[in-house]
Amino acid sequence: MVNEALEARISKIVFWVLLLVAVVVTPWWNLDPINLPKLLVLSAGVLFLVGNVGFAALRGLGRGQGFLYLSFVVIVFLSSLIGKRYFFGQFYGDFGRMTGALCYAVLLLLFVSLAASGSGVVAKRVVLALALAGVVNLVYALVQHLGWDPVDWSNPYNPILGTFGNPNFISAFLGIVASVGIVYLIDSGTRWVFRLVILGCVGLAIFLIDASVSVQGFGVITGGLVLALYMRFVHGKKLVYRASYQVVVVVGFLFLLLGTLQRGPLKGVAYQASVTYRGDYWRAGIEMLMKHPFLGVGMDSYGDYYRASRTEAAALRRGPDVVSNSAHNVFLDIASNGGFLLLFAYVGILGLVIYSAWSLLKKMNGYDPLVVALVVAWVGYIGQSAISINQNGLATWGWAMGGVIVGLKNSGYSGVVSAKKVDYREVPASRVIGGSVGLVVGLVLALPIFIKDVQFRSALQSLDAARIEKVATGFPATSYYLDYAAGTLARNKGLEDVGLRLAKEAAKLNPRDFSAWQLIYSNPKVSLVDRADAVLKMKALDPFNMTIKP
């Protein structure tokens, strides 16, 4: 545990880290203006937080929790080192996702730091950060809906993206924000002026979720509403009332589940064509897990194995070139990436959160909106993660909420939040120094891929072939930039040889990179021998693709 001055400092750090991860975007600098800047802020901010919390507090978590956390991070890096994919592809993750070993490591450190220092003060700051990030995204999403977005996004989706880069992600995030709003809306202690503001925000969130044409947000709100109403009006009542409410909820859930499968009265509301496609992705993830049960295929390597792991029906359903680099289910992503070992460690962490949440709710005296808000937000994230991609901006909230819940349980939270002023001079100098060291380490880890992306975009805009090649082949080596450069240069007359050289380098770096072999095959300067070899490699990587011909 930490003293009050350090607790206040940690709460402020957590507030700014969570807020910045949620809202930061860099569309004028990066090819990936969403996930890369979020990873940079997350890495630097979380390690700055770890340094301030201190290792003494982390050791105070106990052997059981310590073993669970250590197991998770060790398996993540073992999978990255032993996996067949090149290291940096697993360390940073796929372009456009950035959920590799680094991301999972800092998410765990965020969780552990909050589990070690979580308190009512920290919890309030976390909820406040969520509320402010929610307001920013409500305003920006409305601007996007009205067609006034100042950023010209490269966006094939619905225009409502918020600062999360995808309609599904912003829908889920607004669903979490609206759920937390409902928790305070039904609290008798909330003043009417705030209730009116919250009601307006919840209404706007529902409108924007509907306009995003993504049902994820409605699913999150429904789950949050059910839980919030139970804790406000049913919790602590007679068994008959609790049982009746639970039966209604279970029956409603079953109807909703049947609706997603095109059965029952809710099929017109719950079903989307994407459900069928998700089934294809889930089956492929299970296939990877069964073939690589211990340490999986490597962190963020799902895309390298998808073509070989999907069924023939999946290849025919939407065409062989429609692929995915995610199982669209975080549990299956983790399982396919790190095997059963990583899945068990992850489920163990979730089990710890569930136990802590249950303990807090059970001993809750009356209705504590702070505890209920944290649990509702965490449950909303977990529900969304079961049907969607692990976007690092959203994942930050899930891991943060889980860590705070465990932290409240560890600290013996009793419903009272200290409001007295503190003297920041009481913060130990060692924590300030430790935070500075952590910040530097976080930047060192995440800056290389961020800078490379900035440089590569600049090189593309310069139309300088030599510069494009230099950046693509520079540190850190990733197949995405090599593929992009190879394809771009091969389409320019007189540069086909350079494009072929880069495509071969990409294939050498990552032999499971289907795009690299495709670029080799289609290059006009490729030899007959290399073309034939590329065909064999593509057939091995994508056995159900009937369009591959010599």
Q: What is the mean pLDDT of each run of 10 residues along the chain (550 residues)?
A: 77 96 95 96 96 78 87 93 81 93 96 90 95 97 94 84 93 96 94 95 96 90 90 78 74 65 59 72 95 93 95 90 93 95 96 95 89 96 90 96 95 75 69 91 97 96 93 94 95 92 95 96 94 96 89
Query: Are 399 and 107 in contact, with CB atoms under 8 Å apart?
Result: yes
pLDDT of residue 389: 86
Q: What is the structure's pLDDT at 239?
A: 74
Q: Please report the pLDDT score of residue 548 as a whole number.
A: 87
Query: 211-236: b or e for each residue (b if 16 or more CB lie within 10 Å)?
Result: bbebbbbbbbbbbbbbbbbbbbeebe
Q: How far is CA 353 from CA 65, 168, 220, in A?
A: 11, 25, 18
Mapped onto helix, strand or coil, the DSSP state of residue 550 is coil
User: What are the distances in angstroms from CA 176 to CA 58, 398, 486?
Assistant: 29, 10, 41
pTM recorded for the entire structure:
0.94
Q: How far apart are CA 524 and CA 11, in angstroms?
A: 59
Q: What does the pLDDT read at residue 155?
A: 77
End-to-end Cα spacing for the chain: 66
